[in-house]
Structure 1
Amino acid sequence: MRLDGEYGREIADRLAGLTRGDPGPVVQSDGGRRGVYFLVAPGTTGHRAWPECVTRLTSGPYWASYIPVPALDGPTWPLFWRYRPTGADRFVHTSLLRAALS
């Protein structure tokens, strides 16, 4: 999922506050739309209504979305980890993300 601009950064930090600093992996881009990408588990966004400011990055027949992911170490400007991944199966929890958006 992507939120653009300063609002995306605010939501990422709000989510970090709800999770004691471990919101799951969040990527930030300082180029283009200045998107903030919330890495959620596959299949967890389709059955929910989301605000218009949220861009769901999904795939399906004849459709694919690409999510930029920076390297864990070393420079990868304009991408960087706003919140680094803390485990292989650790994602941003979609219910908490919805709570942070409201």
Structure 2
Amino acid sequence: MTDAIHRPPWVPVAGHRLRVVGVHFDAVRIEGALGETVADRLIEVTDGDAGPVVLEQAGFRWMYFLLRPGTVHGHAWLPGVQRFGLNAGNMRTVTYVGIPALDGNTFPLRWYSEPTPETPYVAPELLLTAVTAVRAAQADREEP
């Protein structure tokens, strides 16, 4: 994380709030250890400025990568990666993502990587590269 303070209008001042996906951001969701490994890889390749990534600290420990609105459906994501954004083919589905404040009590959500003025959104190409690299490393470990 960087020390730059940048609070986009969709980030609450305190606590956490649900935000509609596709309005302020699109989202990619990855579960548990895979999500954390992908986030760590993304943070590493961006020198700590990966853009907004939210961790759900309870339950399945989902990791939400927040992308510029309208960008999630333009990429072929791998299995295990869920994408959320406005889709012209299915306007009946509305998805919400919990967004924590930048400080204070935000449980069960917390920022794994905060938005910054330089990186207000996760770059989908970098995220896809990180997911692909992590999946390839997993496959290499699983081969006998």
Same fold (TM over 0.5): yes
CA distance in 2, matches of 1:87, 1:70: 18
Is 1:72–2:102 an aligned residue pair? Answer: yes
Paired positions, count: 102
Structure with max Cα Rg: 2
Match of 1:53 among 58, 80, 102: 80
Shift of residue 48 of structure 1?
1.6
Closer, same or farther in 2 for the Cα pair 1:74/1:34, shift >3 Å?
same
Unaligned regions of 5+ residues in structure 1, if any? Answer: none
CA distance in 1, matches of 2:78, 2:94: 21
Segments ≥4 residues shifted beyond 2 Å: none
Tell me which residue corresponds to 2:131: 101
Unaligned regions of 5+ residues in structure 2, if any? Answer: 1-27, 133-144
Mean Cα displacement is larger for which, 51-60 or 29-38?
51-60
Q: CA RMSD in A?
A: 1.4
Using structure 2 for the length normalisation, give the TM-score.
0.67
Give secondary structure in 1 for the equivalent of 2:40: helix
CA distance in 1, matches of 2:29, 2:118: 21
CA distance in 2, matches of 1:88, 1:20: 12
